[in-house]
Amino acid sequence: MGSIYLIRHGQASFGADDYDVLSPIGIRQAEVLGAHLAQLGTRIDRSVSGDLRRQQHTANSALQQLHDAGIAIPPLDIDSAFNEFDADAVIRSLLPGMLGEEPEALHILRNGAQNRAEFQRLFAKLVDRWISGEHDTPDLQSWQGFVEQVQGGLSRILEQANSKQNIAVFTSGGTITALLHLITSIAPAQAFELNWQIVNTSLSCLKFRGSQVSLASFNSHVHLQLLKAPELITYR
């Protein structure tokens, strides 16, 4: 069987003007991941990333560690199907309908770095609205549309793969969540409960034979745990 390693990007710049940039911790997480894979002698036959900078930077930083250890690495292919869903668009489109019950929501979401717990609570409520399909608008990609986007990316990988390959996909938490939903048939709401636990640079492993895919492991971050540095275990 072949393996697809779903790798969440390193910590991004939450609360900064541009979220789509790895923080210093995010860069370190990616380097630790690559060094761990090199130590294990992991062979990567193909690597794929979404086109977001945080995803590509994670991929390049991790793969460089393999290269430095003398392990051959493939070129990084870009497929925007593995991009994260547009969280800002979800907030912009669905927040107005929630202000009646959450009058402080706009202030909290604008100052998320100073209100992390409340930001997460409100963002989770907005995501629940989004995945329900009951609040779809023409200017917002629906949950179903996002799932179809991700499914297309997975299908392209499987069409081009052989059953012996190890394929690394550098992506984001929402994309991994959509894949969990597709592969295990877990309900979207339950899948997002798992989403909130996905650690930056964690690995989830899919096994495949032909078009048949199964989940082998989820959210492994032993490469970070072994360092006994709690600051490297982050979720956003």
pLDDT digits (tens, 9 = 90+) for 135-182: 999 999 999 999 999 999 999 999 999 888 999 999 999 999 999 999
Tokens of 43: 């062979």
Query: What residues have CB less than 8 Å from 178, skipping those under 6 apart?
Result: 146, 147, 150, 151, 191
Measured in whole angstroms, the distance separating CA 112 from the mean position of its chain's CA atoms is 20
Q: Please tell me the distance from the alpha carbon of residue 212 to that of residue 204, in angstroms, as a whole number.
A: 17
Q: Is the pLDDT of residue 20 over 90?
A: no
Count of alpha carbons within 13 Å of 138, Cβ hemisphere only?
0
Instruction: Give the mean pLDDT of 190-208.
Output: 96
Q: Is the pLDDT of residue 17 over 70?
A: no
Dihedral angle sign, alpha carbons of residues 23, 146, 199, 38: negative
For residue 207, give Cα distances in angstroms to 84, 162, 194, 212, 217: 22, 12, 19, 8, 9
| pLDDT score, position 15 | 60
The model's pTM is 0.93
Q: Please tell me the distance from the alpha carbon of residue 82 to that of residue 171, in angstroms, as a whole number.
A: 6
Query: What residues have CB less than 8 Å from 172, skipping those under 6 apart?
Result: 8, 9, 50, 52, 54, 55, 82, 83, 84
Percent of the chain exceeding pLDDT 90 equals: 86
| pLDDT score, position 19 | 73
Average pLDDT, the chain: 94
Assign 81 to helix, strand or coil.
helix
For the chain, domain boundaries: 2-84+142-232, 86-140
Q: Please tell me the distance from the alpha carbon of residue 24 to that of residue 7, in angstroms, as a whole number.
A: 18
pLDDT digit string, tens, across residues 66-122: 999 999 999 999 999 999 999 999 999 999 999 999 888 888 888 877 878 888 899
- Give the CATH architecture of domain 2-84+142-232: 3-Layer(aba) Sandwich (3.40)
| pLDDT score, position 8 | 98
pLDDT digit string, tens, across residues 126-146: 999 999 999 999 999 999 999
